[in-house]
C-alpha cells in the first residue's frame, strides 16, 4: 500500500478492532466461567437437598427406600437436574427419570466437569461423595451455551461496526495529521534553483513537525548558500577566462595579419582561432544559463504575431537547410499575440533546426509546425534522424548532455538545448522532446502562453513559404 494515509487508516482500524476483539474474547471466558460457577452452585444446592432428604441414617437404608426418598426430590427438580447415585464397586443405585437409564459419564480424578449424555446433551456435572454413595448431579448447559452464542453474535456485529467506524475515523485523522506534511511537500516542491529563497512556513506548537520544518529550512539555507557560491564561482571563472582568451586571440590574429607564417603554421593558427571562438561561445552560453537560472536575465518582451515572426526568420532557415542539402517545410495554424523577445526566440528556433540538420539524412525533410490554439503558441520541429529514446528525451535538456556522438562529426558542446529551455522558461513557457510516434526521428516542441487570441488573420494550415 503506497499511500501513508491509507496505511495509517488501516493500522488504526485494525488495531482498534483487534483490541476490541481481544477484550470480547476475555469477556467470553469470564462470562463462561461465571455461568459455570453458577451451575456448580446449583448442583451443590441440589446435592444438599438430596442429602437432607436421605436423612442421617442413609447408610442403613435399603436400595428401595433410597430410591423412594430421592425420587420425590429428583422428580420435583427433573427440569433442571439429572441425578445418578451409585455405590462403588456395586451397580448403579439410582437414576433420575429424565436420564432414561443412561448414566452420567464419570471423569476419573475430577469432581466438576462437563460431560455429554446422548439424548440429553451437554451437562455441567458435580460429583459429591457421601460414603458409601457417589452422588453425581448434572445441569444442562443448553441455556448457558445459548447465552454465550448470543454474546458472540453481538460481539461480531460490534466488531464490524468498530472496523467501519475506526476506518472512517482513521481516514479523517490521518488526513488531519498529514496535512502539515502535505503542505511541507508542496512548498518543498516549489523551491527550485530560481526561487531558493522561499521557505516552508513554520507551524505553531513545538512538535515533531515543527522540528522537521526547522531542519528542512536549515537544509534549504545551506543549499541556497552553496548554490550561490557555485554560481558566483562559475561567473567569476567565466569572466577571468575571457580576458586571457581575448589576448590569445589577438596574438593569433596578429600573426596571421603579419603574413610571415608558412602555410602549415597558418592553418594551425586558423584551427586555434576556431577553437578559441568555440570556447568563447561556450563561456557566453554558460554565463547566460547561470544568469537565467536566477532570473538574472531581463527580457524586452513585445507582443507579436507568431506568423509575422516566423515569416521573418523563414528565409534564413531555408537558406541554412538548403545549404546542407536537406528540405524544410514550415506550417502555421491560427493567430494570436505572444509576448516575446525576437532575438531569443530566433536563437531557440535556430538551435532546434541545427540539431535537426545534424541528424537528418541527405535530402531528409525537417518539418516546423506552429500552432496557436487553446491559449498557447506551440512550435515543433520534426526530423527524419535516428531520434532518441524516452529516457534520453528526459535528459536531453541538461547541460553538456550529448548522445550517439561519432568521432570526427561536427562537435557541439551540449548546451544548445539547455539554452533553449532557459529562454523558453524565461518567456513563461515549456519545452520538451519526444520520439515521433511510430516514425523515425525526434519531435522537439515548445509552447508559450498567448497574450491575446486574434481571429484568424492567417488561414489554417497555410504554409508560410514553399515546402
Ligand X SMILES: Nc1ncnc2c1ncn2[C@@H]1O[C@H](COP(=O)(O)OP(=O)(O)OP(=O)(O)O)[C@@H](O)[C@H]1O
Specify the DSSP element, H or E, that contains 449.
strand 442-449
Crossing angle between the packed helical segments 142-190 and 208-258, to the nearest 10 degrees: 30
Return the DSSP state at 78.
T
Q: How far apart are CA 346 and CA 443, in angstroms?
A: 18
What does 377-438 look like in DSSP terms, one character per residue? EEEEEE-SS----HHHHHHTTSTT---SPPTTS----S-HHHHHHHHHHHTT-EEEEEE-TT
Asked if 292 and 328 touch (Cβ cutoff 8 Å), the reply is no
> What three-state secondary structure class fits 80?
coil
| Binding segment toward Mg ion, per CB under 5 A, in 25-33, 213-221, 350-358, 441-449 | 350-358
For ligand X, the binding residues (CB under 6 A) are 351, 355-356, 359, 383, 385, 387-388, 396, 401-404, 412-418, 442
Report residue 216 as a C-alpha cell. 528542512
| Binding segment toward Mg ion, per CB under 5 A, in 92-100, 215-223, 347-355, 393-401 | 347-355
Among ligand X, Mg ion, none, residue 162 binds (CB under 5-8 Å by kind): none
| Binding segment toward Mg ion, per CB under 5 A, in 172-180, 256-264, 407-415, 443-451 | 407-415
| Binding segment toward Mg ion, per CB under 5 A, in 171-179, 260-268, 349-357, 427-435 | 349-357
Asked if 428 and 448 touch (Cβ cutoff 8 Å), the reply is yes
Residue 127 vs 383, nearer CB to ligand X: 383
| Binding segment toward Mg ion, per CB under 5 A, in 166-174, 212-220, 404-412, 429-437 | 404-412
Q: Which residue is nearest to Mg ion (CB)?
A: 416
**Shortest gap between Cβ of 324 and ligand X (angstroms)?**
14
Among ligand X, Mg ion, none, residue 345 binds (CB under 5-8 Å by kind): none
Where b means 16+ CB within 10 Å and e means fewer, 371-398 reads bbeeebbbbbbbbbbebbeeeebeebbe
Q: How far apart are CA 379 and CA 367, in angstroms?
A: 10
Residue 170 vs 387, nearer CB to ligand X: 387
Residue 17 vs 355, nearer CB to Mg ion: 355
Residue 371 vs 419, nearer CB to ligand X: 419
**Shortest gap between Cβ of 171 and Mg ion (angstroms)?**
51
**370 vs 333, 337, 379, CA distance in Å?**
6, 13, 4
| Binding segment toward Mg ion, per CB under 5 A, in 21-29, 80-88, 296-304, 409-417 | 409-417
**423 vs 75, 191, 344, 349, 378, CA distance in Å?**
106, 20, 7, 11, 15
Q: How far apart are CA 318 and CA 301, in angstroms?
A: 26
**Shortest gap between Cβ of 351 and ligand X (angstroms)?**
6
**Shortest gap between Cβ of 227 and ligand X (angstroms)?**
22
Residue 86 vs 383, nearer CB to ligand X: 383
| Binding segment toward Mg ion, per CB under 5 A, in 127-135, 142-150, 351-359, 440-448 | 351-359
Report residue 102 as a C-alpha cell. 443412561
Among ligand X, Mg ion, none, residue 115 binds (CB under 5-8 Å by kind): none
**Shortest gap between Cβ of 431 and ligand X (angstroms)?**
11
Report residue 155 as a C-alpha cell. 460481539
Among ligand X, Mg ion, none, residue 383 binds (CB under 5-8 Å by kind): ligand X
Peptide bond into 89 cis (omega under 30): yes
Residue 310 vs 357, nearer CB to ligand X: 357
**412-431: contacts with Mg ion (CB under 5 A):** 412, 416
Query: Total residues at the site for Mg ion (CB under 5 A)?
Result: 3
Report residue 199 as a C-alpha cell. 521557505
**Under the criterion CB under 5 A, does residue 355 sit at the interface with Mg ion?**
yes
**Shortest gap between Cβ of 433 and ligand X (angstroms)?**
7
**Shortest gap between Cβ of 295 and Mg ion (angstroms)?**
24
Residue 46 vs 383, nearer CB to ligand X: 383
- Burial class, 143, CB count within 10 angstroms (exposed 0-12 / middle 13-18 / buried 19+): exposed
Among Mg ion, ligand X, none, residue 396 binds (CB under 5-8 Å by kind): ligand X
**Under the criterion CB under 5 A, does residue 98 sit at the interface with Mg ion?**
no
**Shortest gap between Cβ of 427 and ligand X (angstroms)?**
18
Q: How far apart are CA 18 and CA 33, in angstroms?
A: 23
**Shortest gap between Cβ of 422 and ligand X (angstroms)?**
11
> What three-state secondary structure class fits 452?
strand
- Burial class, 467, CB count within 10 angstroms (exposed 0-12 / middle 13-18 / buried 19+): exposed
**Shortest gap between Cβ of 384 and ligand X (angstroms)?**
10
Interface with Mg ion (CB under 5 A): 355, 412, 416
Amino acid at each position: 500500500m503506497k499511500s501513508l494515509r491509507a496505511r495509517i487508516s488501516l493500522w488504526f482500524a485494525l488495531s482498534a478492532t483487534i483490541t476490541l476483539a481481544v477484550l470480547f474474547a476475555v469477556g467470553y471466558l469470564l462470562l463462561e466461567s461465571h455461568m459455570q460457577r453458577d451451575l456448580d452452585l446449583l448442583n451443590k444446592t441440589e446435592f444438599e437437598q438430596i442429602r437432607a432428604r436421605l436423612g442421617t441414617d442413609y447408610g442403613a437404608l435399603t436400595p428401595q427406600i433410597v430410591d423412594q426418598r430421592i425420587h420425590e426430590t429428583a422428580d420435583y427438580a427433573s427440569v433442571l437436574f439429572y441425578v445418578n447415585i451409585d455405590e462403588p464397586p456395586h451397580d448403579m443405585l439410582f437414576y433420575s427419570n429424565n436420564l432414561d437409564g443412561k448414566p452420567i459419564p464419570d471423569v476419573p480424578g475430577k469432581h466438576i466437569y462437563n460431560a455429554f449424555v446422548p439424548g440429553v446433551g451437554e451437562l455441567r456435572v458435580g460429583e459429591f461423595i457421601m460414603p458409601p454413595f457417589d452422588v453425581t448431579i448434572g445441569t444442562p448447559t443448553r441455556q448457558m451455551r445459548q447465552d454465550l452464542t448470543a454474546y458472540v453474535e453481538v460481539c461480531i456485529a460490534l466488531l464490524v461496526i468498530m472496523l467501519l467506524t475506526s476506518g472512517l475515523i482513521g481516514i479523517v485523522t490521518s488526513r488531519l495529521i498529514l496535512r502539515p506534511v502535505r503542505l511541507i511537500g508542496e512548498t518543498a516542491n516549489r523551491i527550485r534553483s530560481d526561487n531558493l529563497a522561499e521557505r516552508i512556513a513554520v507551524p505553531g506548537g513545538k512538535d515533531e513537525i515543527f522540528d522537521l520544518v526547522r531542519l528542512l529550512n536549515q537544509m534549504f539555507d545551506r543549499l541556497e548558500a552553496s548554490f550561490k557560491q557555485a554560481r558566483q564561482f562559475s561567473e567569476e571563472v567565466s569572466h577571468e577566462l575571457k580576458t586571457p582568451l581575448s589576448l590569445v586571440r589577438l596574438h593569433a590574429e596578429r600573426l596571421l595579419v603579419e603574413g610571415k607564417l608558412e602555410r602549415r603554421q597558418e592553418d594551425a593558427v586558423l584551427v586555434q582561432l576556431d577553437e578559441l571562438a568555440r570556447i568563447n561561445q561556450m563561456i557566453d552560453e554558460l554565463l547566460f544559463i547561470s544568469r537565467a537560472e536566477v532570473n538574472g536575465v531581463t527580457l524586452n518582451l513585445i507582443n507579436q504575431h507568431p506568423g509575422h515572426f516566423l515569416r521573418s526568420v523563414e528565409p534564413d532557415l531555408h537558406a541554412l537547410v538548403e545549404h546542407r542539402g536537406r528540405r524544410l517545410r514550415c506550417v502555421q495554424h491560427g493567430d494570436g499575440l505572444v509576448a516575446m523577445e525576437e532575438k531569443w526566440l530566433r536563437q531557440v528556433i535556430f538551435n532546434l533546426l541545427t540539431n535537426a540538420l545534424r541528424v537528418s539524412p541527405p535530402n531528409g525533410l525537417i518539418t516546423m509546425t506552429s500552432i496557436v490554439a487553446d491559449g498557447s503558441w506551440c512550435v515543433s520541429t520534426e526530423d527524419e534522424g535516428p531520434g532518441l529514446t524516452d529516457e534520453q528525451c528526459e535528459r536531453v535538456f541538461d547541460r553538456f548532455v550529448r548522445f550517439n556522438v561519432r568521432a570526427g562529426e561536427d562537435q557541439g558542446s551540449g548546451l544548445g538545448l539547455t539554452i533553449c529551455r532557459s529562454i523558453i522558461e524565461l518567456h513563461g513557457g515549456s519545452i520538451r522532446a519526444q520520439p515521433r510516434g511510430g516514425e523515425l526521428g525526434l519531435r522537439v516542441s515548445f509552447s508559450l502562453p498567448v497574450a491575446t487570441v486574434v481571429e484568424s488573420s492567417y488561414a489554417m494550415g497555410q504554409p508560410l513559404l514553399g515546402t
